[in-house]
Chain A
Amino acid sequence: MTEFIVQTINGFTLAGVIFLVSSGFTLIFGVMRVTSLMHGAVFLLGGYVAYSVIGALHNFFWGLAAGTVAMGALGLLVERGLLPLLRHSEFAELLATLGLVFVIDDVSLAIWGGNPLNITLPGVLNDSTTLPFHGIVYPNERFFILGVSVVVAVALYALLRRTRVGAIIRAGVDDREMVSALGINVRVVFSAVFVLGTALAGFAGVLGVPVVGLAPGNDVTILLLALAVVVIGGLGSYEGALLGSVIIALADVYGTAYFPAVSYSVLFIPLVVVLLVRPQGLLGRRSMA
């Protein structure tokens, strides 16, 4: 029982990190129809940037800010500098963002090496708390990660549901042309969403280090998880990303804990089931073409 509770909390912590990555991934696809395969690499690079900044400034929060801002800037560079050269060719965009994965991986390997690195959270966050049931001792940093993810998720929800910009983004997922025909410069909105999405991936890459580590190969793992999340939840759907993150994260931790031999199968069974039963995703819209 204790084991199960711990795994469940682990699952929700991982869900928080995965949600931060996949919410940006799904919004970028939703409004731009760009499947940004570099999203996992951005996650990893954000962590590495933070690692170096923390090494220099000895402050976790400066590292978190640096990883987020640097990845947002990278997003701006890619969206403004690279994608316009390929516009309207989904295949070229896929290949270009995939190519960036190799570039980021090799540069990271050259700078930060191939050994796993770690980021420690400051002060009380690096402690543990004994929970009032079953005597479970659980690291504070994971509660912090979960809490921050929830705060970001709520903020993102408020942005999407309560503001005009959010309405434009949601409308853009429905029908980009029609948004433009209402006098709204959708290109500006696209850029903003792309920057927001990559910044979120960088943010998650820093915040998620205590959960998924900081090592080569994480980028592919995270990208796969994000892809699974948006396939399950529905491409372009915020709520879908939220639901998909919880499903995938729980499947991942339970699979690893209880069926370690077939953990990858456990992870992708929900994916296959959704694809068979509801190919547009649990909360996706069929009309999206």
Chain B
Amino acid sequence: MEGDCHYLEGNLNARRRVEYVSKLLEEIGLEGQRVRMINMSSAMGAQFAQAATDMTATIKEIGPNPLREM
């Protein structure tokens, strides 16, 4: 979780980079929502499954990566 990272600020640095890539994807011509940062602790198995389901739903809505077909 944020503020409770094993490496203190590792996940905060990760979040910044994910935000950067999200903007870069938009510039490139893909949807920024294709990349997402998620926080959880080691005890949150159910939350991982939920996040995986949510992410899949979001991507399903956006559609497949057009680069794969090219």
Are A and B part of the same complex? no
Interface positions of B (Cβ within 8 A of A): none
